[in-house]
Amino acid sequence: MPYKTAQIRLVSSHPEVYEPCDDSFALVDALLADRTNLLEHKPSICLEVGCGSGYVITSLALMLKEEIPSIYYLATDMNPHAMRVTRETLQAHGVDAELINTDIMSGLEKRLEGLVDVMVVNPPYVPTPEDEVGQAGITSAWAGGEDGRVVIDRILPVADTILSERGWLYLVTLAANNPSQICRSMREKGYASRIVVQRSTEEESLHIIKFWRDPEVRPSLKEASTQNRSAPTRLGESLLSQFSRFSFWKSSNGSGSL
């Protein structure tokens, strides 16, 4: 029996707000695929950065509310129109979240430091000219600057600050963002990672990656550095093999998930 997610017909819209698309659906599918783990995780605070239409945060609240009604949900977006649209989407589905009009988490890092158990992000990841990043209106929803990494690289340190010790981050990335390098960067901060869902369309290849703190990661990095600074850890090799395998699936099957 499928679990509830936000209904497209009840998702509010505005010309300057990004509507649910393949990346939004892939992120919600990743959360659904990991739902059993999320229920066992019993998060207290869930946050979406860049909520847009509210489709993702609403879907997350719907899929967890029956078993864990006490979760506190927050969502941020720099687009003021997204605040209204997300509020309407939440209300149409009978769920609630605190909405904050801010750029990523500006002004909230101290308040939420070490408290967020689940963080979901569908960032602006499309490679664009640098001057398009952070523009007013809907352009800010996709403009990611060089390699589509400008906003992603701003989000990752914030995630490291606000995630709890048991916090999880679900991040949408594009193949052009070099997701394997993102995983290596997060590994240096002590995070393990895995691809939850991979989806290929005619225009892009998406990876939904889950990150979590792993006490075994930092020692393995130190040991690897001592023995051979140029040798990748087994974790890195595993992740790279995932991306290589998905590249093959892209040409043969079109989609896949772990």
How far is it, in rounded angstroms, from Cα 55 to Cα 24?
8
Residue ranges in the chain whose pLDDT is less than 70: 1-3, 129-131, 134-137, 139-140, 142-144, 218-258
Contacts of 41 (CB under 8 A, 6+ apart): 117, 118, 166, 168
In a domain? residue 101: yes
In a domain? residue 2: no
pLDDT of residue 228: 43
**Residue 183 near residue 212, CB atoms below 8 Å:** no
Tally the domains of the chain: 1
pLDDT of residue 147: 84
In a domain? residue 58: yes
CATH classification at residue 51: 3.40.50.150
How far is it, in rounded angstroms, from Cα 44 to Cα 239?
29
In a domain? residue 125: yes
* 206 φ, ψ (degrees, to nearest 5): -100, 140
In a domain? residue 160: yes
Predicted structure pTM score: 0.84
pLDDT of residue 204: 81
In a domain? residue 103: yes
How far is it, in rounded angstroms, from Cα 177 to Cα 181?
8
pLDDT of residue 247: 38
Give CA 58 to chain center in angstroms: 15
In a domain? residue 220: yes
How far is it, in rounded angstroms, from Cα 71 to Cα 135?
33
pLDDT of residue 16: 92
Please give the residue range of the domain that contains residue 75.
Answer: 8-257
In a domain? residue 1: no
pLDDT of residue 139: 66
